Amino acid sequence: MIGGIVCHEEVGAGMLVGDRQLLSHGDRESLWRVFVAIGETWKNVRFESSNLKSSWLEMVAAKSSVAPSYTAEYVNAVRVVQELIDMYGDEAFHKLFLDHHIPPGPPVTRLAHVKQYVLNDFIVMQVMASGFKHFGGKNYAGYVKGSRYNEIPLVREYVPITGEKSGET
């Protein structure tokens, strides 16, 4: 498994408790760097993910403002990623995303918690927000569907062909 003392520290398999913690501006910036690195690694976003930042900030705020709060998991991720950057430099994110050697099963180390509770959510959010579109999808407007204030729908509605019955293919 990659990493050092922080990454290998054993913790319980359940989510780290952080209901009374707050994320600092620096923590959010470090987490944003991870999110941007996901898009750079898979080359599936444009503009260094800047077009996704408001949606990402909303997700992080929602997951860290009510119980069960992900704040402790986010703070843990900041510590783990910083250790990896200190150890591996430019290769840190590649190792974290693709070459981590985390054993299967419940997350019982700080590194495994990052993968389970932070990276997986960030990857899902990125794909839902625009990842498919940037992989080359032509009819994809995003699952998130844009701002809730849009006056024009961003997702096309399915309109059955006249005479088509439900359940037929």
Give the torsion through C-alpha atoms of 138, 140, 146, 148, to 10 deg: 130
Model confidence at 118, pLDDT cuts 50, 70, 90, reads very high
Q: Per-domain residue ranges for the chain?
A: 5-134
φ, ψ at 165 (rounded to 5°) = -100, 150
- Looking up tokens 């996901």, which residue turns up? 38
Residue predicted with more confidence, 118 or 141: 118
Q: pLDDT value at position 168?
A: 46
Q: Which tens digits make up the pLDDT trace of 57-111?
A: 999 999 998 888 999 999 999 999 999 999 999 999 999 999 999 999 999 999 9
Q: Which tens digits make up the pLDDT trace of 124-166?
A: 888 777 655 555 554 444 445 555 566 665 555 556 677 655 4
CA atoms within 13 A on the CB side of 19: 5
Q: What is the pTM of this model?
A: 0.77
